[in-house]
Structure 1
Amino acid sequence: MATCEADCDAAPVPLKIMPKDYVYSLLEDPQRILSPPTAVGETLGIRGSFEYFHYGCDGHQDAGWGCGYRTLQSAISWIIRRRDSSSVSVKDQHVPSIREIQQILVNIGDKGAGFEGSRDWIGTLEEFYVIDVLYQLPCRILHVKELGSAEALAQIRSYFEEYQGFIAVGGISDTASKAIIGYHCSAETGRVYLLIVDPHFASVPSCRQQLIDEGYVRWVPVDEFPAGTYNLCLILQP
């Protein structure tokens, strides 16, 4: 497993993130009504609030390629809310659109001009670049060959103990972007579960329970994740 503290030296890009007027209100904290997967065990999870961004939630039809952007948007909504809400700079901050995210990546030289307006996907490294540009916030990038390995799970558990934060995840064989926002270890069996928020929902959610019932917010045993390499972006927001 490779670990690095990603802290880009690039100067912030002078791009003003505009306020958004969504067609419908985004659901907040869809995991709030979800119980731990076992009655007895250690449960660690996200502190603070976030909005659930998913396919098409802002009218931009991105099904099939936009999941990384949606995970990033949920993460940014958490960063904004986690920071001091009394700060004028925080009050003036908004979650970037897919097009604005693409503009940032072009402006810093990570992508060519043709990337803006494209349907090209992004991964955890690009997600970090955008977070760094907008908030000068470090992230820890983990490259793990097996998500259920003892070493990887120890890193995830330690992260939730210290930061109670938001982890963006992408894989090589499991290419679907998702977020990890919780950790649970059963006291009886020692089985470990991760709380997943999946942005692939492509309709208008009626309530949190719908997302849970349809599996977009769920506890997943680590032994049920597809085998293969994963990249994790652990956001180091105090």
Structure 2
Amino acid sequence: MSLFPDIHWGLPFPASPTRAALVSGSYLYYHYGCDGVDDRGWGCGYRTLQTLCSWLTAAGVGPDPLQPVPGLRDFQRALVEMGDKPPTFTGSRDWIGTVEATLCIDHFFGVPCKLVHCPRGEGLGGQVEALYAHFQGGGGPIMVGGDADSASKGLLGVCSSRHGHHLLVLDPHYYGGAGSLEREGAQAGGWVRWQALASFDPTSFYNLCLPQCQSRGELTSARALPQ
């Protein structure tokens, strides 16, 4: 399976940011149908989790440095083995969220995750400094999900300007086989995009899953940018 890495590279910043922090290390873009499984409508959480796992794999994290990125059924079987789901969960089209992602990352890679709950009405606005700290410290992709805004997605960075804050969103809802979408198409199609913080649903709560692991490569730190 040939998936495109680091599809945010070269994407322009919005407006003229004075501060920014981006994901460190390398990841692969997992999306609907990338492994031949038609998971439209239920698989976005699994695909975002796979993107997080790809970053851990690239960093050589875990007891097995050759640990591949688990498949959808691998996650389901693991959740059943851990007692989080009933046996009927394996092979189902039941979705997963940030809690299940946390369990699976610990199960396969031995990496703990920080779960952050953003209450309804507050949304993600109260977590801007935590996002800067995560990415500045060499952190990888973050998984985010909610209730009114139930579509799972990844976060790859944060930037700020006098116009407000923007988050770099990785959207797993593109449908196609592996290799069918490269960097230019992903950026042009909005599958990776800067999204104004103010445009996230204010009626939704949000949960964040932040793997507590740093990239071993060169860090992309938060930095001051010329105005």
Give the TM-score category using the shorter length.
Answer: 0.7 to 0.9
Residue deviations 1:114-167, cap 9 Å, x none?
000000000000000000011111111000022342x32122122222233221
Q: Is the 8 A contact 1:147 1:153 kept in 2?
A: no
Aligned residues: CA RMSD = 1.6
State the secondary structure of the residue aligned to 2:64. Answer: helix
CA distance in structure 2 between the aligned counterparts of 1:112 and 1:144, rounded to whole angstroms: 28
Structure 1 residues 122, 148: CA separation in 2 closer, same or farther (over 3 Å shift)?
A: closer
* Deviation at residue 190 of structure 1 after TM alignment: 4.8
Q: State the distance in 2 between where 1:78 and 1:166 align.
A: 7
TM value normalised by structure 1: 0.84
2:11 paired with 1:34 = yes
- Stretches of structure 2 that go unaligned for 5 or more consecutive residues are 215-227
2:85 to 111, 132, 143: 111
Equivalent residue for 2:223? Answer: none
Task: Tell me which amino acid in the other structure corresponds to 1:191.
Answer: G
Report % sequence identity.
39
Unaligned runs of 5+ in 1: 1-21
Equivalence map 1:1-238=2 (5 Å): 22=1, 25-83=2-60, 89-90=64-65, 92-145=66-119, 146-149=122-125, 151-186=126-161, 189-204=162-177, 205-227=180-202, 228-238=204-214
Q: 1:168 to 1:190 in 2, by over 3 A?
A: same
Q: How many residues align structurally?
A: 209
Q: Distance in 1 between matches of 2:124 and 2:42?
A: 26
Partner-residue secondary structure (3-state), 2:172: coil
Alignment CA distance shift 1:57-1:165 (3 Å)? same
1:179 partner letter: G
Taking the aligned partners of 1:207 and 1:160, their CA distance within structure 2 comes to 24
C-alpha distance in structure 2 between counterparts of 1:148 and 1:233, whole Å: 13
* Higher RCO (CA 8 Å, separation ≥ 6 residues): 2
1:72-104 CA-to-partner distances (Å, cap 9, x unmatched) read 0010000111237xx9931x2101110111000
Give the 4+ runs in structure 1 shifted more than 4 A: none
SS of equivalent to 2:21: strand
